[in-house]
Amino acid sequence: MQREDLPDIKCPRCHRLLARGTAVFMELYCRHCKVYVILRATSPNSAPHDGHQTEFQNG
């Protein structure tokens, strides 16, 4: 898979790019708005189009 084919993972608050790719479970930190972004795949059959579900927590 080429870099251009990977989906962007962006902060749900400020929409800055945090990573590219897909994940089953990943925790990222947005330095701009200072929140943790937690990505979880719901299941292989019901995963959203971009392959992850986003939650965020103030930290």
Paired tokens of 6: 């990977």
β-strand 53-58 against 35-40: which pairing, if any?
A: antiparallel
- Give the model's pLDDT for residue 27: 92
Count of domains in the chain? Answer: 1
Distance CA 54, CA 41 (A): 9
pLDDT digits (tens), the chain, 59 positions: 566 788 999 999 999 999 998 878 889 999 999 999 888 876 555 445 555 555 655 65
Per-residue H/E/C for the chain: CCHHHCCEEECCCCCCEEEECCCCEEEEEECCCCEEEEEECCCCCCCCCCCCEEEEEEC
- Give the model's pLDDT for residue 53: 55
